[in-house]
Amino acid sequence: MTFEDLNIEREVLASLNEIGFNEPTRIQYETIPLIKEGYDVIGQSETGSGKTAAFGIPLVEKVTRGTPVQGLILAPTRELALQNAGELKKFSRAKGLRIECVYGGASMGPQISGLRSSEIVVGTPGRIMDHMRRGTLKLNNVKIFVLDEADRMIDMGFIEDIETIERSLPRERQTLLFSATMPYELKSIRDRFTKNPREVVTDTKVKEDYLKQYYCDVDRRIKFSMLVHLLRKEAPKLAMVFCNSRRDTDIVARNLQQNGINAKSLHGGLSQERREHIVEEFHRGSTRVLVATDVAARGLDFKDVTHIFNYSVPMNAEDYVNRIGRTARAGQSGKAIVLLTREDFDLFSRIVNTFSFDIQEIDCSADDIRMLPFRRDEFREHSDRRGQFREYGDRRGPFREREDREFRRRRPFERQPRGFVFT
Ligand code: ADP
Ligand code: MG
């Protein structure tokens, strides 16, 4: 099966050829014909399986040159909006469509002029709303409305924004929803936004043959030392380390740097300029370890990420799936390792049981671990005051201090029970 077999128009085919897309992935060959026929589509497939092109290729085909804003794509984070816009530009290079990306933290001026002439707009819900309020974004020509990672946008509290945006769109339009995870709470959105949708669901959330999952049962006080040990032992090409708060992200990154590991932190408390700079460095491989909050858990596609470390256990199963899905993309393989302290076991077994994942204990006996100092001082030079809040996309949440308090209360070293069983 090739893209030609899907009757993709010549100009778009030429662009796909240029970037080496020859054969469609499963989600692509199943959804592209439906979208071309005009159906609303809900597409759910594993992380890294090519969902962007699944909606992006038919979108670029259906949009004609010259009339602004026929395609509107919403994404939960600025980084993902930028990435999606970049992909669409590649698919439409030969066709010469203009694609504008609008997101917070960047100046309005250039976005406003871009919006006047762009056939396709990609953005985060907040900034799209800003432009609608100012009258700088007209949505009456939108033919296709895409929600990428819809569940995450709802999770972040964007529901009202999205509903407002949706009400401004023509009734006669196509709506496409794509994500690796579609929790039940999304049902109301699906029912309200789509008409007689076709659903395409592949059977897994992540490709378990390629993405191997491990846990490491570790005492809290040596958690950081264990991370360093594993990073050295596993020698990842590129690795991502996920933490739950902006503050932890900064602290872990700085401690890694102090141990000679080329690490940087990425979270929503950084300036937009710095966020883009760090993402770019990681794409180039000049940063080898990206320590991040969930702002980097959705949709981002970095080549050569071989390892994902969950330094903190995520709050829900969807976040776990999407964090580990930053590796083993597009047919590559990868490893995901979660560092579990005793207090994480309950939460993590719930996550694992939600999707019945196969997860093994990684060999990480504490005997050969060198105890490393771990400085918890605040590193603030890149963070603004919001640095102390738990990350939740662009929104604030209560600072997750619980772990620190429990740490201080802990009794002297006690061996963890081995052989964690997921029930
Ligand atoms: P998802 O949204 O499902 O997580 P992406 O759309 O980010 O996945 O795609 C993952 C990777 O696979 C990207 O690097 C993309 O360029 C690549 N890719 C997608 N479709 C194809 C294809 N048909 N042929 C080759 N590479 C592809
Ligand atoms: Mg995606």
Domain spans of the chain, in order of start = 3-201, 211-422
Q: Report which protein residue has its CA nearest ligand 1's atom 16.
A: 50
State in Å: Cα 86 to ligand 2 middle: 13
What's residue 296's pLDDT? 97
State in Å: Cα 50 to ligand 1 middle: 3
SS3 292: strand
In CATH, what number does 211-422 get?
3.40.50.300
What's residue 21's pLDDT? 97
What's residue 105's pLDDT? 94
Architecture of domain 3-201: 3-Layer(aba) Sandwich (3.40)
SS3 302: coil
- Please give the model's pTM, rounded to 2 decimal places: 0.90
CB-ligand 1 contact for 21 (6 Å cutoff)? yes
Q: Is beta strand 120-123 parallel, antiparallel or unpaired with respect to 263-266?
A: unpaired
What's residue 415's pLDDT? 33
User: Which of 21, 79, 84, when mutated, tests ligand 1's pocket best, judged by the most ligand atoms within 8 Å of its CB?
Assistant: 21
CB-ligand 1 contact for 49 (6 Å cutoff)? yes
Strand blocks (E) in 140-262: 144-148, 174-179, 198-201, 211-217, 238-242
Neighbours of ion ligand 2 (CB under 5 A): 51, 299
How far apart CA 122 and CA 125 sit, in angstroms, is 10
Same fold? 3-201, 211-422: yes
State in Å: Cα 45 to ligand 2 middle: 10
Q: What is the pLDDT along the chain (423 residues), one digit of tens a residue?
A: 999 999 999 999 999 999 999 999 999 999 999 999 999 999 999 999 999 999 999 999 999 999 999 999 999 999 999 999 999 999 999 999 999 999 999 999 999 999 999 999 999 999 999 999 999 999 999 999 999 999 999 989 999 999 999 999 999 999 999 999 999 888 889 999 999 999 999 877 889 999 999 999 999 999 999 999 999 999 999 999 999 999 999 999 999 999 999 999 999 999 999 999 999 999 999 999 999 999 999 999 999 999 999 999 999 999 999 999 999 999 999 999 999 999 999 999 999 999 999 999 998 777 778 889 999 876 554 544 444 444 443 333 333 323 223 233 333 333 333 334 443
Question: Phi and psi dihedrals of 98, rounded to 5?
Answer: -105, 135
CB-ligand 1 contact for 43 (6 Å cutoff)? no
State in Å: Cα 52 to ligand 1 middle: 7
SS3 99: strand
Q: Residue 266: in which H helix or E strand, if any?
A: strand 263-266
Which atom of ligand 1 lies at the shortest distance from residue 325's CA? Answer: 4
Measured distance between the N- and C-terminal CA atoms of the chain, rounded to whole angstroms? 42
